């Protein structure tokens, strides 16, 4: 079963908080929110591109603070989306919002229109990190909102960021553990980037903030990915969407942006596996069998793992074995 989102970005024009890493006012001024009547056209267009069978489709409203919109605007979007759920062409509706904009009345409205998943931008569960990031909410807000969402019967997602001011490896791991303990079934992991026009840019230029290097981000994300996988928490996204502004550098001032961060992290996980179990063996050639879904990650981003293994063996080949699951593998030596 493949999962597909039909995304709509709804910028929160009235967000009362200015997180140090975000320039929501500039984003809101340059990105045009779709009109509710445009939802039908976009959903219909997306559905034509998805496979007809073995699919799970959700209409997704992103933008950071959907439940901070005026209620009439929320209802207009949800009403437009809910008819696709009622006619069973779409499986559900998901949205992202702030933990301090969740209450029983809000959840009653979301339930009325068939919302299935609610993602909270937790970012961290460490109080100092939340304060330094200017989030405007506490860890307790996340805890209380998470309980309300679960009690109301929604799927809970908790998003997190690595490398925020005051963050450490230990605090990131702590946040991951709290995400599990709070009952989330889904997460997103975002690296902190210094974006032009933000308070974080001022902190960076003044020398009071230093973003993580790419190698540090990969190392931190490895631990998070393995923890979430071990605890059956689905990682919806690892890394930021490669917008034009990030890719061409017009928005990015500093930080560990890479358009294929997920691939880099999975490559590093496989390299650790090979370092532990493969290169200790002797032989001049090596044939590694992996699950079909893991072939690209095992070979590595831009064949990095294969090139590394070729430093130890004269010949290295990879093949797939459908009997293997996850990161199980088999190595033959000659």
The pLDDT of residue 28 is 42
User: Sign of torsion, CA 176 7 9 67?
Assistant: negative
The torsion region of residue 35 among left (phi > 0), alpha (psi -120 to 50) and beta comes to beta
Query: What does the pLDDT average to over 251-269?
Result: 96
Query: What does the pLDDT average to over 46-54?
Result: 93
Domain annotation for the chain: domains and CATH numbers: 2-259 (3.20.20.70), 277-333 (no CATH)
- pLDDT tens for each residue of 272-290: 999 998 876 777 899 999 9
The pLDDT of residue 267 is 98
User: Over pLDDT 70: what percentage of the chain?
Assistant: 95
Higher pLDDT, 325 or 9: 325
Residue 30 binned pLDDT confidence (cut-offs 50, 70, 90): very low
The pLDDT of residue 29 is 42
pLDDT at 151 over 70: yes
Round the average pLDDT of the chain to a whole number and report it. 92
Higher pLDDT, 22 or 6: 6
Residue 10 binned pLDDT confidence (cut-offs 50, 70, 90): confident
User: Over pLDDT 90: what percentage of the chain?
Assistant: 81
| Range 252-273 burial, b when 16+ CB lie within 10 A, else e | bbebbbbeebbbbbbbbbbbeb
pTM: 0.92
- pLDDT tens for each residue of 94-134: 999 999 999 999 999 999 999 999 999 999 999 999 999 99
The pLDDT of residue 176 is 98
Query: What does the pLDDT average to over 306-325?
Result: 95
pLDDT at 23 over 80: no
Between CA 165 and CA 21 the distance in angstroms is 9
pLDDT at 245 over 80: no
């Amino acid at each position: 079963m493949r999962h597909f989102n039909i995304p709509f970005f709804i910028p929160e024009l009235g967000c009362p908080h200015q997180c140090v890493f975000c320039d929501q006012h500039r984003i809101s001024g340059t990105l045009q929110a779709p009109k509710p009547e445009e939802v039908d056209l976009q959903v219909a267009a997306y559905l034509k591109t998805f496979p007809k069978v073995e699919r799970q489709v959700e209409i997704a409203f992103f933008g950071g603070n959907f439940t901070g919109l005026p209620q009439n605007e929320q209802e207009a979007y949800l009403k437009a989306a809910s008819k696709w759920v009622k006619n069973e062409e779409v499986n559900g509706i998901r949205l992202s919002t702030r933990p301090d904009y969740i209450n029983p009345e809000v959840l009653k409205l979301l339930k009325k229109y068939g919302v299935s998943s609610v993602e909270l931008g937790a970012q961290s569960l460490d109080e100092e990190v939340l304060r330094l990031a200017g989030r405007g909410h506490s860890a307790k807000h996340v805890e209380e909102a998470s309980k309300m969402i679960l009690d109301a019967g929604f799927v809970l997602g908790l998003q997190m960021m690595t490398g925020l001011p005051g963050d450490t490896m230990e605090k990131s791991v702590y946040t991951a553990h709290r995400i599990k303990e709070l009952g989330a079934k889904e997460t997103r992991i975002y690296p902190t980037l210094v974006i032009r026009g933000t308070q974080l840019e001022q902190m960076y230029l003044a020398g009071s903030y230093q973003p993580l290097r790419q190698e540090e981000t990969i190392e931190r994300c490895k631990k998070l990915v393995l923890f979430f996988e071990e605890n059956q928490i689905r990682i919806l996204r690892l890394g930021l969407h490669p917008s034009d502004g990030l890719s061409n550098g017009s928005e990015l001032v500093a930080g560990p942006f890479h358009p294929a961060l997920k691939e880099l992290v999975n490559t590093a996980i496989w390299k650790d596996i090979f370092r532990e179990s493969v290169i200790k063996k002797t032989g001049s050639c090596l044939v590694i069998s992996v699950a079909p879904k893991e072939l690209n990650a095992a070979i590595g981003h831009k064949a990095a793992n294969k090139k590394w293994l070729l430093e130890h063996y004269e010949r290295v080949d990879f093949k797939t074995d459908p009997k293997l699951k996850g990161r199980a593998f088999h190595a033959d030596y000659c």
